[in-house]
């Protein structure tokens, strides 16, 4: 199982998202800090979850980071994160 699948599995289990997009951007960071041969080190995640309603941006990030603790302990070096409640996501689509 690759990193995208592990990230998807962990976030689905922890936060039951309504929407989840995961993009491996590792190739864009080749030669930079934290980049490793074979990639799977830098990701962009957009997650929409009811679990985020009423939470601050910091608390949302903490919950995602906690769900991905095992990945951060391994190869995951950087995560660009957009974490929204369903109401916020609806506003950004208009």
Q: Tokens in use for 84? A: 């929204």
**Percentage above 70 pLDDT, the chain:** 85
Token digits of residue 62? 């903490």
- Which of residues 28 and 3 earns the better pLDDT score? 3
Per the structure, the complete domain to which residue 44 belongs is given by 3-77+86-93
Burial of 25 (0-12, 13-18, 19+ CB in 10 A): middle
Integer angstrom CA distances of residue 80 from 10, 13, 36, 94: 17, 20, 17, 23
Confidence of residue 1 (pLDDT cuts 50, 70, 90): confident
Q: Based on the structure, what is the number of domains in the chain?
A: 1
- Of residues 34 and 77, more confidence is placed in 77
Global pTM reads 0.86
CATH of the domain at 41: 3.30.300.90
Q: For 31, phi and psi rounded to 5 degrees?
A: 90, -10
């Amino acid at each position: 199982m690759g990193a995208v699948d592990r990230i998807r599995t962990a976030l689905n289990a922890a936060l039951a998202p309504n929407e989840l997009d995961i993009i491996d951007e590792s190739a864009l960071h080749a030669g930079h800090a934290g980049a490793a041969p074979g990639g799977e080190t830098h990701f962009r995640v957009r997650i929409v979850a009811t679990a985020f309603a009423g939470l601050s941006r910091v608390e949302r990030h903490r919950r995602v980071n906690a769900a991905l603790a095992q990945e951060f302990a391994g190869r995951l070096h950087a995560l660009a994160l957009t974490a929204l409640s369903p109401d916020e996501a609806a506003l950004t689509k208009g």
